[in-house]
Amino acid sequence: MNWEENVRRVVPYVPGEQPGQKDVIKLNTNECPYPPSSMVKNKMAGMAYEDLRLYPEFPEKTPLAQLLAEYFHVRTDQIFIGVGSDDVLSMAFLTFFNSGKPILFPDITYSFYDVWAQLYHIPYRICPLDDSFHIRKEDYKIDNGGIIFPNPNAPTGILMDLEAVEEMIAANRDVVVIVDEAYIDFGGASALPLIEKYDNLLIVQTFSKSRAMAGIRIGYAIGNERLIRYLNEVKYSVNSYTMNRPALILGAEAVKDDAYFKEICGKIIATRERAEKELTALGFTFTKSCANFIFATHKEKCAQEIFDRLKERNIYVRHWNKPRIDNYLRITIGTDEQMDKLFASLRAIV
């Protein structure tokens, strides 16, 4: 018997390219272009090296959980903390999507969703966005085993208003609805206030984008305390020590510095609005973004050619060779200086 017959095989998620050289403008993975809070830097300098020999505390018992609870006006038993929002979402798939019925998510969305569904043997059905790349609420009012969607959606950047979000939750009270809010801080209203009304709603957010800490890997979910308890039971059955000590300590410092958090979000939003004008002048069209990126297509030049020629100039954006979006580029919003170099290169290309 061939041992490979028993290997679990999936088509893995493919992240944005991580170029090895330093002299690049990296606008392909939606990282924050600014450093974390200086409070994080100062805390790093005083961290105890010898403490690394000890296992970390359980995340829900840490100052990070308490600070998040205070910040969002919830209780600590309503918060689950994981190793980036990918870990949180993966655990949520494993915990809540077990009915045998297909879960629902958009056809153009975060491309990890179908990977987790395949990995955990969860049946799924994709619901096509409309011609303007908006989610069609009626597609989610059918019998299903759970629902997940980003808001704002990725890679389109389109925001669904809270009234529509609530309509989808209210129509699916017998399953868990996950709203993936990785980009909510760049122009949208969170569905967080709805968790007291709907015990089947789970909100997932991350430190990787608006809090400039993609390298430290912190994500979290907020919801009904029963949802959080079930998540913890599954998580601690996979790994009893889920977060490293530095992440728990430094994440708390990031939450404390709310002024800096709001400052860099404001900078990114302002640069995004300027980028919209520049790209329009260059012949691009795009969906209205409420995220830290713009999803754009050019009227004359194909996306693959623009992608390749930007890469030759050490400027990295994101391109997918997938149906419906193969002529689009997702451009992360960088600093003003980085964006000026992007615009100059685009002028030469298009």
- If you write DSSP's letter for every residue of 319-335 in order, what string do you get? E---TTTTT-EEEE---
What pLDDT is attached to residue 134? 98
pLDDT tens for the 350 residues of the chain, in order? 699 888 988 889 888 888 878 889 999 999 999 999 999 999 999 888 888 899 999 999 999 999 999 999 999 999 999 999 999 999 999 999 999 999 999 999 999 999 999 999 999 999 999 999 999 999 999 999 999 999 999 999 999 999 999 999 999 999 999 999 999 999 999 999 999 999 999 999 999 999 999 999 999 999 999 999 999 999 999 988 889 999 999 999 999 999 999 999 999 999 999 999 999 999 999 999 999 999 999 999 999 999 999 999 999 999 999 999 999 999 999 999 999 999 999 999 99
DSSP 83: S
What pLDDT is attached to residue 1? 67
What pLDDT is attached to residue 179? 98
Q: Which of 70, 64, 71, 115 is nearest to 93 (CA)?
A: 115
What pLDDT is attached to residue 49? 86
pLDDT (tens digit per residue) in 22-80:
889 999 999 999 999 999 999 999 888 888 899 999 999 999 999 999 999 999 999 99
Backbone dihedral region for residue 119 (phi beyond 0: left; psi -120 to 50: alpha; all else: beta): alpha
The C-alpha torsion from 183 through 285 and 331 to 277, rounded to 10°, is -90
What pLDDT is attached to residue 48? 84
What pLDDT is attached to residue 156? 98
What CATH architecture is 17-36+259-349? Alpha-Beta Complex (3.90)
Three-class SS of 134-184:
CCCHHHHCCCCCCEEEECCCCCCCCCCCHHHHHHHHHCCCCCCEEEECCCH
- Domain-wise residue ranges, the chain: 17-36+259-349, 38-256
| The two three-digit tokens of residue 322, written as one number | 């997938």
Give CA–CA dist 181/183, Å, rounded: 5
Same fold, 17-36+259-349 and 38-256: no
Kindly list the distances between the CA atom of residue 256 and the CA atoms of 40, 41, 150, 262, 265, in Å, as whole numbers in the listed order.
10, 13, 26, 12, 16
Q: Residue 46: which residues within 8 A CB-CB, separation 6 or more?
A: none
Q: Residue 206: which residues within 8 A CB-CB, separation 6 or more?
A: 84, 85, 182, 218, 219, 220
Say if CB 281 and CB 349 are below 8 A apart: no
Q: Residue 327: which residues within 8 A CB-CB, separation 6 or more?
A: 297, 302, 303
Give CA–CA dist 123/97, Å, rounded: 9
| The two three-digit tokens of residue 181, written as one number | 């809010």
CATH of 38-256, one of 3.40.50.2020, 3.30.470.20, 3.40.640.10, 3.20.20.70: 3.40.640.10
Q: Side-chain half-sphere of 151: how many Cα atoms within 13 Å?
A: 25
In the chain, the amino acid numbered 166 is E
Kindly list the distances between the CA atom of residue 158 and the CA atoms of 41, 151, 194, 267, 330, in Å, as whole numbers in the listed order.
34, 7, 20, 20, 13
- Angle 303-312/336-349 helices, nearest 10 degrees? 120
What pLDDT is attached to residue 50? 86
